[in-house]
């Protein structure tokens, strides 16, 4: 489960931001998880709740926004949004598409005290 190593790196990043801003704790962590990021949101949540118990994230609220897959079609030129892992254009059913969004895992916001 690579979610544990991802959360370890996320908590390290939170700790570094807290230190850089002379904060003693992180109260909220907001991330964006793309459908094609390769991360299982439920496992990520569990890993965060487990690993946050020590350090500055101890009382942090964990917010996760699931980013849909956004595709641009080379055949019809349309942009489509999908809530599932599919690279097929929703307009013309072509598989000649380019992923515009939905592959990333990003730290979006931190609240520090």
What's the chain's length in residues? 113
CB 29 within 8 A of CB 48: yes
CB 79 within 8 A of CB 100: yes
Establish whether 92 is an annotated binding residue.
Answer: yes
- Three-class DSSP category at 16: helix
CB 79 within 8 A of CB 101: no
Closest to 106 (Cα-Cα) out of 65, 51, 58, 68: 65
Establish whether 14 is an annotated binding residue.
Answer: no
Establish whether 57 is an annotated binding residue.
Answer: no
Binding site for Zn(2+): which residues? 73, 76, 89, 92
Residues in the annotated binding site for Ni(2+): 2
Binding-site residue ranges: 2, 73, 76, 89, 92
């Amino acid at each position: 489960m690579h979610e544990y190593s991802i959360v370890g790196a996320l908590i390290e990043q939170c700790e570094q931001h807290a230190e850089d801003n002379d904060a003693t704790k992180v109260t909220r962590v907001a991330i964006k998880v793309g459908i094609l990021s390769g991360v299982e949101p439920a496992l990520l949540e569990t890993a965060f709740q487990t690993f946050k118990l020590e350090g500055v994230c101890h009382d942090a609220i964990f917010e996760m926004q699931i980013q849909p897959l956004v595709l641009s079609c080379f055949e019809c030129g349309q942009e489509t949004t999908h809530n599932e892992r599919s690279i097929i254009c929703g307009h013309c059913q072509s598989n000649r598409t380019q992923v515009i969004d939905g592959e990333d895992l990003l730290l979006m916001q931190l609240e520090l005290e």
